[in-house]
Amino acid sequence: MDIIWHKSSGQFHLFNDKISYIFAVSPSGELTGIYFGKRIHDKADMSYVQIRVGMPQMAVDPDTESYCMEINRQEYPSFGTTDLGTPAFEIEQANGSKVTSFVYKNHKIIKGKNGITGLPATYADKKEALTIEVELVDSVAEMTLILSYTIFESYAAVVRHAKFVNNGNSTVRLTRALSCCLDLADQNYDWMQFSGAWARERIPEVKHISTGTVMIESKRGISSANQNPFVIVKRPGTDEFYGEAFGFSFVYSGNFVALAEGNNHDRLRIMMGINPVHFEWPLEKDQSFETPEVVMAFTADGLNALSQTYHHLFNNNLVRGKWKNRPRPILNNNWEATFMDFTEEKILKLAKKAKEAGVELFVLDDGWFGERNDDTSSLGDWVENKEKLPEGIKGLASKINALGLDFGFWIEPEMVNINSNLYRKHPDWILSVPGRKPSLGRHQLVLDFTRPEVVDAVYDMLFKVLDGTHVRYIKWDMNRTLTEVYSCAASPEMQGTVYHKYIMGVYSLYERLIAAFPEILFESCSSGGSRFDAGMLYYAPQAWCSDNTDAIDRIGIQYGSSYGYPLVSIGAHVSAVPNQQTGRSVSIKTRANVAYFGTFGYELDLNELSDSEFQEVKKQVAFMKENRELLQFGNFYRLLSPFQNKQTAWMVVSEDKKKAIVGFYCLKANVCALPGFLRLAGLDPDMKYQMEGKTYYGDELMNIGIMLAEFYKSDFSISEDYASFVTVIKAD
Ligand code: DGJ
């Protein structure tokens, strides 16, 4: 890993043994992109890649009139000189002009990586990464722009963000401040996004790129179930095992935009950042603004390799604290078992049975506070309902602890119901526009988390419940999108800052709770998976993946989530049948076979199971305990897509390749079809493995594959709808 600066050509080369990222100071003084991809040799001057033509329509090079920005690649483009593509940023200056031109002034290279105040960010120590901060200035706008790039020793990834500083005396307004731009030299790529809605999150969609713009975004105040802030741009032939692709993951949980713009000179521009819609950030003299960061990854070996880069990078250099790289407790959550209709007695009955099954953590979901018996009241009143919990959370926690289980509970701190003491006392603490009726979502309003006094009040209430109580887990929910985004506490000029300050308020509450209670494992949730993003992982290392707990739908949701997020971050539970969201009935075996490839837990009343099912649950819990390290942190391979096949499969392989676990699922019976073979991946070709009592070489399993007919002989027929198997492969 190194960063080389070639002074004569103004060229920077960031590289490790996997990738090279090269850019240079262009004839216009701005930064031009040279290359991002597989590691290549360093050379002092690669300016030949900058295109010069005899007579461009517009030129910035007064001597030769030959260098035009629009036909070249830009690192962080502005709009309005000779690049009329979509800009990465815009600054409205005192005279009303938005034209800018930031030219290279200086740079510094630091060992490791700096954080970003108030925002989530990847981190690295001095041996793990190098960062270059390039300082550019616009002397007319009197502003400084600092572009920061980090290259890691071990990952095929570069992390980028930008910082703006106003050096002038006049106030300027940032109206667009994206985090990165990657211009590529041709447009022969496909765009892959992860889209959906409530209960069908992160389903991959692929479209071919051409001239014009492909764009996804969130304007919901959360990253959203509708579009995820992670996209892949891949060569058309790239599949899970072969081919080139770039990944872009936004370390941020609010409004975002991601786009690919093909211009008419075969340049492809990919950008990601805070959504400029309703964004406006005034900067007075000496004030600065830092964007969140984007993790840009590259693979030459297919999408599994790209995903593994994100999995490892996020596990090692984004997730923090006690739960970093720690196998997660197997939990039982009462939500689908009781909803809000519970008493302490009922909860203890569930917990007792959970303990008998070997579960480690009991989680009390929504309904424990205020007068919350349905979703019309009490959000904002974080005080125990003594009718349900006579001795409060503390009393229940100690009773659950006495059973030998850890305890955790649910909160939704960003929200308030009209029917709550908090709202009655502070009706102005919500996001709403004066004179307009605020829209409700699930009967609730959104607290104005841009205001420190609001965050303080929520923190104080939660602190009281948590202080001195043995709590090991919190599920932090968020059940509506933001509307009427306006803060009564902010001046008219500051209203464009509200969306971003809101999410910074959320981050600040997380930060304070984490500092006060470092033992707690946070699981983020937003009506299931509506805030499943890299930003959240910095605070909450796992996320409830979806409210859709149907195993068959979950295969697709977990499969889609795995492209950008590690398995250990994917909250996956076994729930009751018929499934509450789809009405489908699937065996307890298949339900667990899906949930193993995530954090694993139960979202049902274990007392309701038949004896034989309960015995099976005990075995499942034991299996998960034995294998969770591998299931949650192993190298994950998608083998067969549920979106293109009637059968689907995935597997994890240990770092030393001595152990692997394969999951295979039949989504739809394929009557009168030969079962065929499932080719595995990631094994050592020369190693001998044991599988189901037989010995195979790694290369056999990867090239011939598992003969699926073998599994007919066990209790499972793979020609049945929803049948599945999970098999462990161990070095001989
Ligand atoms: C939505 C979550 O996704 C569910 O798991 C549950 O916690 C409910 N909220 C509680 O209101």
* Whole-angstrom distance, CA of residue 288 vs CA of residue 438: 32
Task: Kindly report the protein residue whose alpha carbon is nearest to atom 10 of ligand 1.
Answer: 366
Structure tokens at 189: 């790529």
Q: Is 533 a catalytic residue?
A: no
Separation of CA 477 and ligand 1 centre (Å):
7
**E-assigned strands of 347-499?**
361-364, 406-411, 415-417, 444-446, 473-476
* Whole-angstrom distance, CA of residue 476 vs CA of residue 530: 12
Q: Which helix (H) or strand (E) holds 625?
A: helix 611-633
- Which residues, in sequence order, are bridge partners of residue 489? none
Q: Which of 37, 20, 7 is CA-nearest to residue 301?
A: 37
Separation of CA 17 and ligand 1 centre (Å):
44
Answer yes or no: are the C-beta atoms of 191 and 235 closer than 8 Å: no
Which residues have any ligand 1 atom within 6 Å of their CB? 335, 365-366, 410, 477, 479, 525, 527-528, 544, 547
Answer yes or no: are the C-beta atoms of 12 and 39 closer than 8 Å: no
Pocket residue to mutate for ligand 1, from 332, 475, 525, 545, most atoms within 8 A of Cβ: 525
Pocket residue to mutate for ligand 1, from 478, 480, 547, 581, most atoms within 8 A of Cβ: 547
Answer yes or no: are the C-beta atoms of 197 and 158 closer than 8 Å: no
Separation of CA 608 and ligand 1 centre (Å):
21
* Active-site option among 138, 183, 190, 477: 477
Q: Which of 712, 597, 718 is CA-nearest to residue 667?
A: 718
Q: Supply the angle between the helices 452-466 and 392-402 in degrees, to the nearest 10.
A: 40
What Rg value do the Cα atoms of the chain yield, rounded?
A: 27
Q: Which of 280, 246, 295 is CA-nearest to residue 120?
A: 295
* Whole-angstrom distance, CA of residue 546 vs CA of residue 81: 46
Q: Which of 518, 523, 530 is CA-nearest to residue 599?
A: 523
Pocket residue to mutate for ligand 1, from 527, 542, 573, most atoms within 8 A of Cβ: 527
**Which atom of ligand 1 lies nearest, measured to the CA of 410?**
7
* Whole-angstrom distance, CA of residue 368 vs CA of residue 529: 22
Q: Is 456 a catalytic residue?
A: no
Q: Tell how many helices (H) and how many strands (E) occur in the chain.
A: 12, 39
Q: What DSSP letter does each residue of 152-167 carry, written as one string?
A: ESSSSEEEEEEEEEE-
Per-run averaged pLDDT (10 residues), the chain, 732 residues: 97 98 94 98 94 80 82 94 95 97 97 98 98 98 98 98 98 98 98 98 97 98 98 98 98 98 96 98 98 98 98 98 98 97 98 98 98 98 98 98 98 98 98 97 98 98 97 98 98 98 98 98 98 98 98 98 98 98 97 98 98 98 98 98 96 98 94 88 98 96 94 68 95 94
Answer yes or no: are the C-beta atoms of 581 and 549 closer than 8 Å: yes
- The confidence score (pLDDT) of residue 55 equals 74
For the beta carbon of residue 711, count every other beta carbon within 10 angstroms.
Answer: 20
- The confidence score (pLDDT) of residue 674 equals 80
Separation of CA 340 and ligand 1 centre (Å):
10
- The confidence score (pLDDT) of residue 599 equals 98
